[in-house]
């Protein structure tokens, strides 16, 4: 969608050169995001029509484009599954922890690694990416669009309250530590550090939860330990199209099982440990 002439005229009439630079930069950024999302939407519709049995020739005829152009659109531009993470712009949120030696906030290496990889994944789909943090005392504003939050209930009361809205997967705590429970099946998912002998495995939450203000949703990721969070990002990097095909942009939750290299903490095997539960079905 082009900028209305009135907007162009208004921007061109700005006399302060520095303000003009700021406004044009902001408007160009917004326009670029819009172009990316329109291209993603167009590619998705073409793929969906073809999956329904409509030929490319029929799509081209009805859309007023050549068959070659339809083929080009289908294989070029931002992938539709990128919408699983958001549209236009997203913000990756990771928790700050208290450095006991210096008594100041710090971002742990494991959290930094998960956040950076999620940022890279979002950028690979043409999304504009920003970063933010949950404060040391657990404060975070969840009433913002495009949030991808890597944080468990232990680090933030706001996140603990958000997780409590999940109708299927719950966080619990017992003498062994935190665990995830599938309330449909009663199965408990734990970290390998809680068994004897310890194992290099973890369990993690992946879901889309409602914002506290009710005006949208946000993506939540949290391992019982940081290895689990990293495993979820690893799973998304390889299986996001499959997950997107099952849940789209709707509310859902699932448990991810992660096996990692004990020397490096890097995931070596990740898989869905529970079903993908669509919350609208509840």
Look up residue 168 and give its two tokens: 């299927």
Query: What is the model's pLDDT at position 57?
Result: 80
pLDDT tens, residue by residue, 62-108: 888 887 787 777 777 677 888 899 988 999 999 998 887 787 888 88
What's the whole-model pTM score? 0.80
Question: What's the CA gap between 94 and 136, in Å, rounded?
Answer: 11
Least confident of 78-92, 152-166, 240-254: 78-92
Query: What is the model's pLDDT at position 1?
Result: 47
pLDDT tens, residue by residue, 187-239: 999 999 998 899 999 999 999 999 999 999 999 999 999 999 999 999 999 99
Angle value at C-alpha 139, between 256 and 221, nearest 5 degrees: 10
């Amino acid at each position: 969608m082009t900028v209305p002439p009135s907007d162009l005229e208004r921007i061109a009439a700005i006399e302060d050169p520095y303000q003009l630079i700021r406004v044009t930069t902001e408007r160009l950024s917004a326009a670029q995001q819009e172009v990316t999302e329109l291209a993603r939407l167009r590619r998705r519709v073409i793929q969906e029509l073809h999956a329904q049995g409509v030929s490319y020739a029929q799509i081209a005829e009805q859309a007023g484009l050549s068959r070659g152009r339809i083929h080009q659109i289908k294989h070029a531009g931002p992938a539709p599954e990128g919408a699983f993470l958001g549209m236009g712009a997203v913000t990756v949120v990771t928790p700050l922890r208290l450095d006991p030696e210096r008594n100041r906030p710090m971002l742990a290496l494991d959290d930094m690694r998960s956040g950076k990889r999620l940022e890279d994944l979002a950028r690979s789909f043409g999304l504009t990416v920003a970063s933010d943090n949950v404060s040391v005392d657990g404060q975070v504003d969840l009433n913002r669009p495009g949030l991808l939050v890597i944080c468990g209930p232990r680090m933030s009361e706001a996140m603990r309250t958000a997780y409590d809205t999940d109708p299927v997967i719950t966080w619990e705590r017992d003498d062994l530590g935190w665990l995830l429970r599938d309330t449909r099946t009663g199965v408990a998912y734990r970290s390998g550090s809680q068994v004897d002998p310890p194992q290099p495995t973890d369990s993690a939450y992946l879901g889309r939860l409602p914002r506290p203000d009710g005006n949208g949703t946000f993506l939540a990721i949290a391992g019982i330990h940081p290895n689990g969070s990293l495993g979820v990002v690893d799973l998304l990097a390889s299986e996001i199209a499959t997950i997107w095909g099952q849940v789209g942009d709707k509310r859902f939750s699932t448990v991810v099982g992660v096996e990692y290299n004990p020397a490096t903490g890097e995931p070596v095997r990740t898989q869905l440990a529970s079903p993908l539960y669509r919350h609208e079905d509840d």
